[in-house]
Structure 1
Amino acid sequence: MNEENINEIVEKVFQKAKSICSKKSKHALSKHIAESTFVSSRTIERLYDKYLDKKEGVGEQNEHTINVLCQYLGYDSYADYVKQNGLYTTISNVEAQKNDKSKVGKDDYRIWKVLAVVSLIVVVGLILGLSEKHKETLCMTWKTDHFEKVACVAGTNESIIPLDEVRLRNFRKVEVDLITDFFDETTQMPLIWYYKSGGKMEYYTAPGKHPINGKTLKEITEHMVDTYVPLHTYKKNSFVE
Structure 2
Amino acid sequence: MEKWIQNLMESVFGKVKEIAVETSVNGRSRYLAQKMEDDFSFRLSDRNITRYYKAYITGEKRKITPNKATLNALAEFIGYRGFEDFIRRNETKEEEKCRKFSRQIKKMYKQIALSLVVNFLLLSGLFFFVSKYYKKNCMIWMDDHYEKIRCSDLELEVELNEKVLAKFKKNTGG
TM-fit CA distance, 1:12? 1.3
Cα distance in structure 2, aligned partners of 1:74 and 1:9:
11
TM-fit CA distance, 1:125? 3.6
Q: How does 1:76-155 map to 2 (within 5 A)?
A: 76-86=81-91, 107=113, 110-111=116-117, 113-131=118-136, 138=140, 140-141=142-143, 148-149=144-145
Q: State the match for 2:8 in structure 1.
A: 9
Q: State the match for 2:49 in structure 1.
A: 44
Deviations 1:153-193 (A, max 9, x none): xxxxxxxxxx974xxxxxxxxxxxxxxxxxxxxxxxxxxxx
Q: Secondary structure at the match of 2:80?
A: coil
Greater RCO (CA < 8 Å, at least 6 residues apart):
2
TM-fit CA distance, 1:36? 2.4
Cα distance in structure 2, aligned partners of 1:45 and 1:140:
93
Is 1:72 the equivalent of 2:71? no
Greater Cα offset, 115-124 or 11-20: 115-124
TM-fit CA distance, 1:5? 1.8
Aligned partner letter, 1:50: A
Cα distance in structure 2, aligned partners of 1:123 and 1:64:
51
Q: TM-score, length-normalised on structure 1?
A: 0.40
Cα distance in structure 1, aligned partners of 2:132 and 2:74:
69
Q: Secondary structure at the match of 1:61?
A: coil
User: Alpha carbons of 1:107 and 1:28: their partners in 2 closer, same or farther (altered >3 Å)?
Assistant: same
User: Alpha carbons of 1:32 and 1:130: their partners in 2 closer, same or farther (altered >3 Å)?
Assistant: closer
User: Alpha carbons of 1:52 and 1:127: their partners in 2 closer, same or farther (altered >3 Å)?
Assistant: same
**What is the RMSD of the two structures over their aligned residues, measured on CA atoms?**
4.0
| Structure 2 gaps, min length 5 | 38-43, 100-105, 148-153, 157-174
Deviations 1:2-38 (A, max 9, x none): 3322221111111222233455432122122223222
Q: As a proportion of its length, which structure holds more helix?
A: 2
Cα distance in structure 2, aligned partners of 1:48 and 1:40:
13
User: Alpha carbons of 1:119 and 1:13: their partners in 2 closer, same or farther (altered >3 Å)?
Assistant: closer
How many pairs are equivalent? Answer: 130
| Structure 1 gaps, min length 5 | 91-98, 142-147, 152-162, 166-241
Largest Rg, 1 or 2: 1
Q: As a proportion of its length, which structure holds more strand?
A: 1
Deviations 1:206-225 (A, max 9, x none): xxxxxxxxxxxxxxxxxxxx
Is 1:61 the equivalent of 2:60? no
Q: State the match for 2:161 in structure 1.
A: none
- Percentage of pairs with the same residue: 23
